[in-house]
Homo-oligomer: A and B are copies of this chain.
Amino acid sequence: MSAEKQKDLELYLDELKTIVKKRGLKYSTQREQILKVLFNAKNHLTPEEIYQEVKKENTSIGLATVYRTLSFLESEDIVSSISFGSEGKKYELNRGEHHDHMICIKCGKIIEFFNEELERLQEEIAKKENFKLITHQMNMYGICEECQKKDQ
C-alpha cells in the first residue's frame, strides 16, 4: 500500500472517530474494519460481500453489525448506496465528488461517471417544479463495451 493511500485511510478513520464522538457513540473495531473494507474496495459491495471481507480478519463479526454500521455510515454521509431493482443495494465510500452510474445488464459491471452539465440540468428541472433537490440517483442500464464485443 502506498504512503499516499495510507494517509487517505487515516483521514477516513479520523472522520469516523470525530463523528462517533460528536454523536456520543463509541468507536469500535467493527466500525473501523467495515470502513477499511470500503476504503480498499475496487468496486461497489453488497452488505454480504463486506461481511465476508471483514470476516477474513475477524471471524466473529455478525451480518447484523454490517447492516447497522452501513446504515449509520450512510446517514452520516460517509458512504452511499445504489439500489438495483430487486437485486438489493451496493455500497461505496464517498470520495469527493458525487457521481452517477452506468450498469451493464450482462456482466453487472458498474461504470462511474460525473457530468457537470447533468448536475446543472437537474437543478434547472427541479427549480421549474419548485422542488428542493437534495440528492439524486441516475442509473443508466445497458451493455458495456466488453460485453458488446463478446456478443458479436
**Which residues of A are interface residues toward B (Cβ below 8 A)?**
81, 83-86, 89, 102, 104-105, 111, 113, 115, 117-118, 121-122, 125-126, 128-145, 148
Q: Which 6 A-B pairs have the closest CB atoms?
A: A130-B145, A132-B143, A133-B142, A136-B140, A134-B142, A138-B138
Assess whether B143 is in contact with A129, with CB atoms less than 8 Å apart.
no
Q: Assuming A83-B83, A102-B126, A137-B139, is B144 touching A131 (CB within 8 A)?
A: yes
**How many copies altogether?**
2
Contact among B117, B134, B136, B144 with A143 in the assembled complex (CB-CB below 8 Å)? B134
- In the assembled complex, which residues on chain B have CB atoms less than 8 Å from the CB atom of A83? 83-86
- Interface of A, helix, strand, loop or mixed by DSSP: strand
Assess whether A148 is in contact with B121, with CB atoms less than 8 Å apart.
no
- In the assembled complex, which residues on chain B have CB atoms less than 8 Å from the CB atom of A130? 144-145, 148
20 A–B pairs (Cβ distance < 8 Å), ordered by A: A81-B85, A83-B83, A83-B85, A102-B126, A102-B129, A102-B131, A102-B133, A113-B125, A117-B121, A121-B121, A125-B140, A129-B144, A130-B144, A131-B142, A132-B143, A133-B140, A133-B142, A134-B142, A135-B141, A137-B137
- A135 CB, nearest partner CB in chain B, Å: 5
Assess whether A148 is in contact with B134, with CB atoms less than 8 Å apart.
no
Closest to A145 in B: B130
5 A-B pairs besides A115-B125, A137-B137 with CB distance below 8 A are A83-B86, A111-B131, A113-B128, A134-B141, A136-B138
